[in-house]
């Protein structure tokens, strides 16, 4: 795939830590981590292709693969001359982080999966994604808000500031980014067997009250990984980094600080 320029922000110095947002968001969901971890890492927060201020992937939406996002991130890292890096992926960002582990395992200095999972979509799930893509094509991003927002945050009256921020971030995303991502998620491979091959240290973070991807999915990944820690965040739903940012940063900080600096990479890897 040809290299496309990704919009990103960064803070801090040291081990590169790439924070990959989930669906249908942009890098802004990691603001508290970008600010809160800048003293232990060089925190880089890209907008995935088609989200935030990044241009969409080339090619037909219906043929998009999760690996296409991973390749775009690798090309972006190459452009920044970042050889090895730690990665944290939220939900769909976790699917992309697993694709990075498949495509470029030697480049990963650490793997963090937040409210994510390794399994593929069920046939019913695939059908729902296709319907969602049609709904977004017809109605725009409000279709994702109607389908997802109610279950994104922990049950109970939401904090209005967080609720409004999540809603406005979802509404800001373009169909040209949302629709390919739906097809890519629907087509993603099962990555359970990949987990046992991952050598890099891993951290799994789950929202205790996540109604979109329950904590059992993170527990399953922990059981298949060779070297994984698991942290469950009380009071959090599917967006722990926004709902309880201090607890997420407290989990990330010692893990990231304990990762080894990236080894020099041979040319051409
Ligand atoms: C996400 O937050 O990225 C999505 O909920 C993931 C999904 O729909 O599988």
Query: Nearest residue CA, atom 7 of ligand 1?
Result: 92
Distance (Å, rounded) from C-alpha 51 to C-alpha 168? 13
**Average of pLDDT values for 77-84?**
96
Q: Which of 143, 212, 237, 241 to mutate to test the pocket of ligand 1 (most atoms within 8 A of CB)?
A: 212
pLDDT tens-digit map of 240-253: 999 999 999 999 99
Which residues are near ligand 1 (CB < 6 Å)? 22-23, 91-92, 185, 212
Query: Nearest residue CA, atom 4 of ligand 1?
Result: 23
pLDDT > 70: percent of the chain: 95
pLDDT at 263: 59
* E strands present in 158-240: 202-207, 228-233
List all residues 6 or more positions away from 20 whose beta carbon is below 8 Å from its beta carbon: 46, 48, 73, 87, 88, 89, 90, 93, 94, 96, 97
Neighbours of 186 (CB within 10 A): 20
pLDDT: which is higher, 65 or 264: 65
State whether residue 205 is helix, strand or coil.
Answer: strand
Tally: H helices and E strands in the chain: 11, 7
CA 145 to chain CA mean position, Å: 18
Residue 262 pLDDT exceeds 60: no
Distance (Å, rounded) from C-alpha 196 to C-alpha 29? 30
pLDDT band at 260 (very low <50, low <70, confident <90, very high): confident
Residue 108 pLDDT exceeds 50: yes
């Amino acid at each position: 795939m040809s290299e496309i320029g990704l919009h990103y922000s960064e803070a801090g110095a040291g081990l590169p830590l790439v924070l990959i947002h989930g669906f249908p968001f942009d890098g802004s969901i990691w603001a508290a981590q970008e600010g809160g971890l800048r003293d232990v890492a060089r925190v880089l927060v890209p907008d995935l292709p088609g989200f935030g201020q990044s241009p969409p992937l080339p090619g037909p939406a219906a043929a998009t693969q999760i690996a296409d996002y991973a390749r775009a991130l690798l090309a972006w890292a190459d452009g920044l001359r970042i050889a090895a890096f730690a990665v944290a992926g939220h939900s769909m960002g976790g699917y992309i982080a697993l694709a990075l582990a498949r495509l470029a395992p030697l480049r990963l200095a650490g793997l963090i999966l937040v409210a994510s999972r390794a399994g593929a979509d069920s046939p019913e799930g695939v059908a729902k994604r296709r319907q969602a893509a049609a709904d977004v094509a017809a109605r725009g991003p409000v279709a994702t808000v109607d389908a997802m927002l109610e279950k994104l945050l922990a049950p109970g009256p939401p904090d209005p500031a967080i609720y409004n921020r999540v809603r406005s971030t979802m509404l800001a995303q373009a169909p040209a980014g949302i629709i390919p991502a739906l097809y890519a998620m629907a087509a993603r491979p099962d990555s359970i067997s990949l987990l046992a091959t991952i050598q890099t240290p891993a951290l799994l973070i789950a929202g205790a009250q996540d109604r979109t991807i329950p904590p059992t999915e993170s527990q399953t990944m922990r059981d298949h990984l060779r070297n994984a820690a698991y942290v469950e965040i009380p009071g959090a739903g599917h967006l722990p980094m926004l709902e309880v940012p201090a607890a997420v940063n407290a989990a990330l900080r010692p893990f990231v600080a304990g990762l080894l600096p990236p080894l020099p990479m041979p040319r051409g890897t």
